[in-house]
Amino acid sequence: MKEKISWSKVKQYIPITFMGLCIVAFLIFLATHEDFTIADFIKLTKDNYLLTSMAVIVAFIIKGFVVFVPYAVIAITTMALLPFDVALATVIVGTIVNISVPYWTGRLTKDDWIQKILDKFPKIRPYYEMTDNLFLLSFTLRAMNLSNEALGLLFGSAGLKYFPYMIANLVAIAPSAISYIILGKDLNLIESIQSPIFWGAIVIDCIMVAIMTTYFKKKKQKQELEKSKSDNK
């Protein structure tokens, strides 16, 4: 009698399968368009906003699987290629997709991502071990601009619910995303750094990081003090 294939076993391979299909499709395209250049891509997408937006969304999806694709590059390039309103909508949708991909990979697969991530990113471990508040922890680590892919796998595997996870990440990433949007809007560094919104976003980002790191530093000191008192009893 054949063993029944359960959905729980199938779904853990969906993210990997999807990533593989994206890579295969990209390789097939390159193989059948040997003379295709970046200039050709810009020409092709210049007046085709839907095609450009779809290409950007695919880039955000791929980034959800790989660390070496910088979020800033995708966001700035999108703002440069598309009209402001279309680009802004594309970046927002792409960001949500990008944040979701590693989360659902960690949530649906059975791998012990928590231990793997803590071993690979030792900077995350002390924060993770200090609190059971996954929402606050997710917000803090994302504000610190740690690897989105690693954080998604970590909190998906840890069981943080999707909507709290998404809210924490979107709020934390908003200031840096705004600065990238302004940089990409005109591709003029001088004008961008003269924008009060640009500097306001950077200041808010720094304040968030300072507040959360101070909070966890004091929490660590309190825990160490309580442990010391407990040991002396």
Q: What is the pLDDT of residues 105-127, one digit of tens each?
A: 888 876 678 888 888 888 888 88
Which pLDDT score, from 0 to 100, does residue 1 have? Answer: 43
Residues 26-54 pLDDT 10s: 667 667 766 666 556 556 556 677 878 88
Could you give the C-alpha distances from 134 to 162, 212, 215, 224, in angstroms and in order? 11, 14, 15, 21
Three-state SS at 119: helix
Is the confidence at residue 24, as pLDDT, over 50?
Answer: yes
Residue range 180-204, pLDDT digits in tens: 888 777 666 566 677 787 888 888 8
Angle at CA of residue 63, ends 181 and 185, nearest 5°: 15
> pLDDT: is 13 or 147 the higher one?
147
Domain definitions of the chain by residue range: 7-223
Predicted confidence band of residue 2 (pLDDT cuts 50, 70, 90): very low
Residue 198 CA neighbour count, 13 Å, CB half? 15
pLDDT tens-digit map of 62-116: 777 776 677 888 888 888 778 888 888 888 888 898 888 888 888 887 667 888 8
Cβ-based burial of 130 (10 A; exposed 0-12, middle 13-18, buried ≥19): middle
- How many whole angstroms separate alpha carbon 107 and alpha carbon 152? 9
Tell me the range of 23-32, 160-169, 219-228 where mean pLDDT is highest.
160-169
Rounded distance between C-alpha atoms, residue 48 and residue 90, angstroms: 14
pLDDT at site 167: 92
Measured CA to CA, the distance from residue 73 to residue 65 in angstroms comes to 16
Looking at residue 166, its pLDDT comes to 92
DSSP code of residue 109 = S
Cα-Cα end-to-end distance for the chain: 62
Cβ proximity of 176 and 205 under 8 Å: yes
